[in-house]
Structure 1
Amino acid sequence: MIRPVRGWLAWAAAGDRRRTLSTTTRSTSVHGRSPWLIVGQSAAALAAGIGVGRFVYTPILPLMHAQAGLSAELGASLATANYIGYLTGALAGTFVPALVRSVVVLRGSLVILIATLAMMPVSHDGAVWFGLRLIAGVASALIFVIAVSSALTRLRGQVQHLTGWAFGGVGAGIALSGLLVLLLRTATTWQAAWWSCAALATVLAAAAWGLAPVPQPAPTDQAVSADRPRTRRWFWPLFGSYTFEGIGYIIAGTFLVAAIEQGVPGPVGSGAWILVGLAALPSSALWAWLAHRWSRPSLLFAALAIQVVGVALPALLGGVAPALISAVLFGGTFMGVSTLALAIGTHLQGPRSVSLLTAGYSAGQILGPMLAAPLLQHGYRQALLLGGVVVLAAVLAAIGVWIRYPQVRAPFPTPLDTPSRP
């Protein structure tokens, strides 16, 4: 995954020199296909692979607690299994680049993902659930890296917001699956929720079936603009901030609905999760637009500070309004933080900076549920407080990135440029 993505990032850095060729590029980048068709297919793949395949567990978790006897500790373990599988799939895309360009792998991963969703209700065995969520994580990662590679390659030369809307498919998948679970929760069982979401993933997979990545050679280092800074002074604070973000964001991403429903019984938790998806849908395009007006480190600081409020608010204040505000703040920032951090890392040009940031963020996502697990016996609010504290640590580390950061005018990279994203 890293090779094609880093190639695109190098292309973005040289954007000013290539703008004169934009007309030619636009006519060939989509190979005669409508760019909005590519946006739609990429968004559908990301909605199936990430929005449903990875995050549908969050709104279904309270149903499994109530109806399937799932303990809080096992619930955290299943989340960890999915993140381990996701990291495994992401690394496979990194070290075997041919996977990123394979239509067969994309379609096979979609089928496998749907099967794992449909098989969750078949058993009550925790070990079976663990294995299914592990496999689902691998499939989600491969879908993600292939969809991203295809979008970045085929939309090259198009206006930047197009790719941002493609990645909005993650938010669309979260919103659609959350709405489906909300509609089903009072009328049916947790098994039907899994099967219905498998059907939703099938529809999305059918919409994405025609998506096909194209071969893309990696540009040489000479493609990088010579006026960009070659310093690592700001990298390690960035690495720390992004790793803390991986820990804190995934705690909220896993337990937010369950925490809200502890304080506000009923459909508010599922409704809040729908708002998370709706807020995430336009966020990639929005943060890219803001980066043309303010510096990336200042925006990273702001996004993380907003996310602290979004993560901790339901733990500090009960009621419907804090829950819904939390959902909007969290959904509108978690994709933006990743977008900004990876753009800054690319700008600094440290050796394998994108790979290192990816590793830290992915490790944080595995570590988050493990750190929260001991607190779950006292309820989910304590877990959200922990998540807020960890994201606050990310805010403090981001200050070290902001101080005397070397500025340069360059196009804003498209978000989700590594497999560490949601």
Structure 2
Amino acid sequence: MREIFFNRENNVSIILAGIFALIVGMGVARFAFTSLLPSMLEHRIDISFAGLLASINYFGYLLGAIFAIFLKELSKKILFFRIGLIICFFTTIFLGLNTNDFIWIVSRFIAGFGSAMLMVVGSSLVMSRLKFEDKTKAMGIHFSGIGFSIAVTDIINRVVLQNNTWEKAWIILAILVIILGSYSFYILNEQKSINFNKIKGKPFKFDLFVIVLIFTYFTVGVGFVIQGTFLPDIINSIKGLEGFGSISWLLVGLSGIPSCIIWMRLAYSFGSVNIILICMLLLIASILIPIYTTNLFLNLLSAILYGGTFIALVGLFLNLGGKIASSNPAFLMGALTSSYGVGQIVAPLYAIALIEKYKNYDSTLYLTAFIMFLGVIILFLNKKKEYLYANN
């Protein structure tokens, strides 16, 4: 067992370290906020401050993604990956130890940066380390860590909130960072392997297809963030569904765990862009369902569709970007994540304005679905250009 799980060259340990890093960077530093939001709205913050904290977290994530573009040397990538782990610990425990609004704003901003280090830089390290000729299927397993990140942190929060406060939940999550982060810290280390150390970046030429990918991923960022921030409150705000918000968020995580593996296997067979378009259309459907029905089953189905597509879309886009810029996957991964981050910053801001004006989520969901549909149309019109880069 030790030769498998503590061997820095073993594919199993590399993927496991990547999944643990995603649980820390995405689950704790980002999605745990959504899971704890109903409790914090009841006891600590209002919806406007929640939107501000979401946007400032995504702004930090955006800056981190942009920063990752310029990390060329392997040693620096590993350094900032480890810094990201440390950041996620301190910015998490701060939320459990104080209630100062300014400290919360700063913590969520810095946590966003740390999250990007684990998501973008960490994923590029995993992709570089894996020993497969085609890494699409393996990266699908890696990105399933986003689903695990939602499910694991939500289950922990549920257990803690049964007998304790949301402050205690943040402290427990900080302990989780130490446990999982230590393993990732150890495994994703600089090695003497020639293949790993010889990876060097080279200038990457942006063409029309890459620009289309970046814009489309921006619309996916918009589509992701509204439910990613407000889904439990959206469900709780529907008449007759009060109290089902937390269940919906758990379903998001559980449906997201196998989604990357399934969708990326399909991408391997039918082409990444084809599968991306299908996932985007299903995500749009999940966004619109709460507007048209109060049916419990359909709204829980909306949560399942959301978790089963947005996580896969992250994996599909970043894997495709990593293959296109194979000599330096962090470069295009960072560019894509930056556009995604812009969408995540913009969307909560217009959402808060529309929610406060109309006193419901309908107009926000309509606008979000419309923006995503623009991305679908533009990518569909350019999808044949994918084959200039790869067969899948």
Aligned to 2:379: 398
SS of 1:97's partner is: coil
Note the C-alpha offset of 1:277. 1.6
Aligned to 2:347: 368
Distance 1:186 1:53 in 2: 22
Q: Does residue 265 of the first structure (1) align with residue 242 of the second (2)? A: yes
Note the C-alpha offset of 1:250. 1.3
Distance 2:216 2:224 in 1: 12
Whether the 8 Å CA contact 2:139–2:319 is kept in 1: the answer is no
Q: Deviations over 1:262-301 (max 9, x none)?
A: 22222x2222212212222222222221123323332222
Q: Deviations over 1:295-329 (max 9, x none)?
A: 33322221110001112222332243123211211
Aligned to 1:289: 265
Aligned to 1:43: 19
- Look up the equivalent residue of 2:387 and give its one-letter code: Q
Alignment CA distance shift 1:217-1:276 (3 Å): same
- Look up the equivalent residue of 1:302 and give its one-letter code: I
Q: Does residue 407 of the first structure (1) align with residue 387 of the second (2)? A: yes
Distance 2:171 2:217 in 1: 35
Distance 1:275 1:409 in 2: 36
- Look up the equivalent residue of 1:395 and give its one-letter code: V
Note the C-alpha offset of 1:406. 6.0
Alignment CA distance shift 1:304-1:124 (3 Å): same
Cα RMSD for the two superposed structures: 3.0
Aligned counterpart for 1:74 among listed residues 39, 45, 49: 49
Note the C-alpha offset of 1:82. 0.6
Distance 1:279 1:96 in 2: 33
Indicate the structure with greater helix content: 2
Distance 1:374 1:209 in 2: 41
- Look up the equivalent residue of 1:113 and give its one-letter code: C
Aligned to 2:32: 56
Whether the 8 Å CA contact 2:259–2:309 is kept in 1: the answer is yes
- Look up the equivalent residue of 1:155 and give its one-letter code: L
Alignment CA distance shift 1:213-1:317 (3 Å): farther
Aligned counterpart for 2:94 among listed residues 102, 106, 119: 119
- Look up the equivalent residue of 1:362 and give its one-letter code: G
Q: Does residue 388 of the first structure (1) align with residue 366 of the second (2)? A: no
Aligned to 2:218: 243
Alignment CA distance shift 1:199-1:269 (3 Å): farther
Which deviates more from structure 2 when the two are superposed, residues 42-51 or residues 372-381?
A: 372-381
Alignment CA distance shift 1:144-1:339 (3 Å): closer
Aligned to 2:176: 200
Distance 2:164 2:311 in 1: 32
Q: Deviations over 1:183-233 (max 9, x none)?
A: 333433221222222223232223323122443422668xx9xxxxx9945
Distance 2:300 2:127 in 1: 33
Aligned to 2:300: 324
Note the C-alpha offset of 1:174. 0.9
Note the C-alpha offset of 1:58. 0.7
Q: Does residue 97 of the first structure (1) align with residue 47 of the second (2)? A: no
Alignment CA distance shift 1:184-1:320 (3 Å): farther
- Look up the equivalent residue of 1:401 and give its one-letter code: N
Alignment CA distance shift 1:203-1:379 (3 Å): farther
- Look up the equivalent residue of 1:322 and give its one-letter code: L
SS of 2:242's partner is: coil
Aligned counterpart for 2:200 among listed residues 198, 204, 218: 218
Alignment CA distance shift 1:82-1:168 (3 Å): same
Whether the 8 Å CA contact 1:150–1:211 is kept in 2: the answer is no
Question: What's the TM-score, normalizing by structure 2?
Answer: 0.83
Aligned counterpart for 1:301 among listed residues 261, 265, 277: 277
Distance 1:336 1:237 in 2: 19
Aligned to 2:120: 145
- Look up the equivalent residue of 1:60 and give its one-letter code: L
Alignment CA distance shift 1:204-1:348 (3 Å): closer
Aligned counterpart for 2:140 among listed residues 164, 177, 183: 164
Aligned counterpart for 2:230 among listed residues 240, 255, 259: 255
Alignment CA distance shift 1:346-1:128 (3 Å): closer
Aligned to 2:158: 182
Question: What's the TM-score, normalizing by structure 1?
Answer: 0.78
Note the C-alpha offset of 1:108. 3.6
Note the C-alpha offset of 1:159. 6.3
Whether the 8 Å CA contact 1:168–1:283 is kept in 2: the answer is yes
5+ residue gaps, structure 2: 1-5, 191-196, 326-330
Whether the 8 Å CA contact 1:259–1:315 is kept in 2: the answer is no
Note the C-alpha offset of 1:102. 5.2
Between Structure 1 and Structure 2, how many residues are aligned?
371
SS of 2:176's partner is: helix
Whether the 8 Å CA contact 2:141–2:260 is kept in 1: the answer is yes
SS of 2:65's partner is: helix
Q: Deviations over 1:360-418 (max 9, x none)?
A: 3221121111111102321345433432232223223233224x556369464xxxxxx
5+ residue gaps, structure 1: 1-29, 225-229, 413-422
Whether the 8 Å CA contact 2:71–2:77 is kept in 1: the answer is no
Distance 1:357 1:206 in 2: 28
